[in-house]
């Protein structure tokens, strides 16, 4: 959870804080290369997610795909792209942490992260299944979730920058929906498998409280974007102005 919520965002912060200021010339020169690598990360990361059988690996690989989308927003070099990248990093910190926590909940019951050992949990763990559904929808950027607003801003920035990059990056939307639905369907529906775990108890009050702590901010960010954007707007405007001025002088 610490990796998903904080450490994974250090790369994005470094790009915003240093690459667009101290290393602006290099970022401008290597924009095409960075865009190609980020696009490959979005598509290949999503396809790799569909191939995973370990629950934590599924969420981790999906995080790689989302972070590459953040990079695409940053190299758009405009207000919408940078704000979308920042917003998606904040949203992903909440959503991905909640999904990792959900995996931890069922791991405590069965002591296995392999996907084939789970199924039909909606019948014995309805609270868990509800939480997993909500955060799976957020992970696929369903409208009304914070990931949706972040990706929408990123795509708006990419539309101004390059229609080709925008078109290719939208493949991530379809693939994200595919692996999110795949994960929830395999865990929640089907036949309850009791070969390796004979008892599945639903979430305790402590576990529900942790999901609520992560879910309430996610709900707020899904409908009130100004909670984040009003604090980042002027800083990002300064970065965009500095970058544009530097390119104009060159």
Q: Do 232 and 83 form a contact (C-beta atoms < 8 A)?
A: yes
pLDDT class of 45 with cuts at 50, 70, 90: confident
Show the DSSP H helices in the chain as ranges.
Answer: 2-5, 10-14, 24-29, 31-51, 55-74, 79-110, 126-139, 146-161, 163-169, 171-188, 205-223, 226-249
pLDDT tens profile 71-114: 999 988 888 889 999 999 999 889 999 999 999 888 888 888 88
pTM: 0.89
Burial of 45 (0-12, 13-18, 19+ CB in 10 A): buried
For 172-181, what is the mean pLDDT? 86
- Residue 237: pLDDT band (50, 70, 90) is confident
Mean model confidence pLDDT for the chain:
85
Phi-psi region of 143 (alpha: psi -120 to 50; beta: other; left: phi over 0): beta
At residue 131, the pLDDT reads 92
Average pLDDT of the segment spanning 220-237 = 85
- The confidence score (pLDDT) of residue 216 equals 92
Q: Is the dihedral of CA 190, 52, 113, 2 positive or negative?
A: negative
> What pLDDT does 167 receive?
87
130: confidence class by pLDDT, cuts 50, 70, 90? very high
**What whole-number distance in Å separates Cα of residue 65 and Cα of residue 71?**
10
Residue 194 — pLDDT band, cuts 50, 70, 90? low
| HSE value, Cβ hemisphere, 13 Å, CA-based, for 47 | 7
Cα 21 from Cα 148, distance rounded (Å): 28
Question: Residue 197 above 60 pLDDT?
Answer: no
Distance CA 3, CA 205 (A): 25
Average pLDDT for residues 3-20, to the nearest whole number?
77
Whole-number pLDDT of residue 228 = 85
Categorize the per-residue pLDDT at 213 as very low, low, confident or very high, splitting at 50, 70 and 90. very high
């Amino acid at each position: 959870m610490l990796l998903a919520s904080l450490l994974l965002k250090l790369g994005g912060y470094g790009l915003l804080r240093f690459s667009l200021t101290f290393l602006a010339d290099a970022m401008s020169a290597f924009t095409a290369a960075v865009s190609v690598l980020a696009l490959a990360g979005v598509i290949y990361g999503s396809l790799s997610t569909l191939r995973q059988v370990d629950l934590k690996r599924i969420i981790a690989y999906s995080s790689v795909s989302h972070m590459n989308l953040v990079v695409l927003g940053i190299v758009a070099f405009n207000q919408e792209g940078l704000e979308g990248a920042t917003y998606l990093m904040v949203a992903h910190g909440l959503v991905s942490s909640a999904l990792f926590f959900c995996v931890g909940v069922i791991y405590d019951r069965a002591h296995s992260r392999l996907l084939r050992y789970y199924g039909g949990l909606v019948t014995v763990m309805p609270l868990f299944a509800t939480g997993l559904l909500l955060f799976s929808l957020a992970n696929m950027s369903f409208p009304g979730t914070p990931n949706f607003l972040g990706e929408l801003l990123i795509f708006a920035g990419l539309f101004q920058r390059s229609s080709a990059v925008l078109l290719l990056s939208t493949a991530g939307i379809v693939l994200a929906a595919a692996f999110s639905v795949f994960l929830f369907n395999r865990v929640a529906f089907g036949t309850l498998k009791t070969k390796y775990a004979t008892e599945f108890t639903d979430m305790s009050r402590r576990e529900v409280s942790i999901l609520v702590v992560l879910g309430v901010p996610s709900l707020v960010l899904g409908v009130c974007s100004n909670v984040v954007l009003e604090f980042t707007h002027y800083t990002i405007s300064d970065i965009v102005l500095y970058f544009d001025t530097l390119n104009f002088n060159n």
